[in-house]
Amino acid sequence: MATEKELIEKAVAMLDLSYCPYSKFPVGAALECEDGAVFTGCNVENASYGLSNCAERTAAFKAVSEGHRKFKRIVIAGRCEDFCWPCGACRQVLNEFGPGMEVICLNAKGEAAHMTLPELIPHAVDSIWLGN
C-alpha cells in the first residue's frame, strides 16, 4: 500500500507531464485501488477543446482498462491557489468505481484538503438508481 505522502509525490510529478497548451492549467492525479495498485494521470487537452480529458479520468480509465475496478483514494494536484477540486464529470466517473472513496485535493503550496466522494457528489447516478 502506498503512503499518502507517496501518492502526493506521484500526483505532483504528473503536473510536468500534463498536456495543457490551451488552458495552461496543469493537473496531476494518483489513484490508489483497493488492491494497492496505483495509477497516475494528467490532463490531456486537444485543439478541439471538448475532447480534452481530465487528470482524474485519465487515471481512472488507466486503472479500469488494466482490470482494477475498486478505487480507494485519489490525490489531485494543481498549481492554483485554491485546492484542485475534481470537476463534476470526474466526480461521477470516480463514483462508478469508488462510491465511498477518499479524495485528497492539493493546492500550489502542497496543502491538502481531505474529502470523501459522497461529500463531493451526493446523490450520484449509480446502477441502483438505474434499476440494474
- Catalytically active residues, by annotation: 56
Stretch touching ligand THU by CB under 6 A, among 4-12, 83-91, 109-117, 119-127: 83-91
For cell 475498486, name the residue.
Answer: 70
Region for residue 102 given its phi and psi (left: phi exceeds 0; alpha: psi -120 to 50; beta: otherwise): beta
Residue with cell 472513496: 101
Q: Kindly state the smallest distance separating residue 59's Cβ from ligand THU, in Å.
A: 10
**Which is closer to ligand THU, CB of 40 or CB of 43?**
43
Q: What's the rounded Cα separation, in Å, for the pair 73 and 86?
A: 13
d(CA 69, CA 87): 20
- Centre a 10 Å sphere on the Cβ of residue 124 and count the other Cβ atoms it contains: 17
Q: Which range of residues in 21-29, 60-68, 96-104, 115-123 is near ligand THU by CB under 6 A?
A: 21-29
Which member of 13, 20, 113, 124 binds ligand THU (CB under 6 A)?
20
Q: Is 54 in the site for ligand THU (CB under 6 A)?
A: yes
Tell me the C-alpha distance between 31 and 94, whole Å: 10
Nearer to ligand THU, 119 or 130 (CB): 119
Q: Please name which of 119, 116, 108 lies closest in space to residue 78, comparing C-alpha atoms.
A: 108
Q: Report the nearest approach of ligand THU to the CB of residue 29 (Å).
A: 8
Interacting residues toward ligand THU by CB under 6 A: 20, 23, 25, 27, 43, 45, 52, 54-56, 86-87, 90
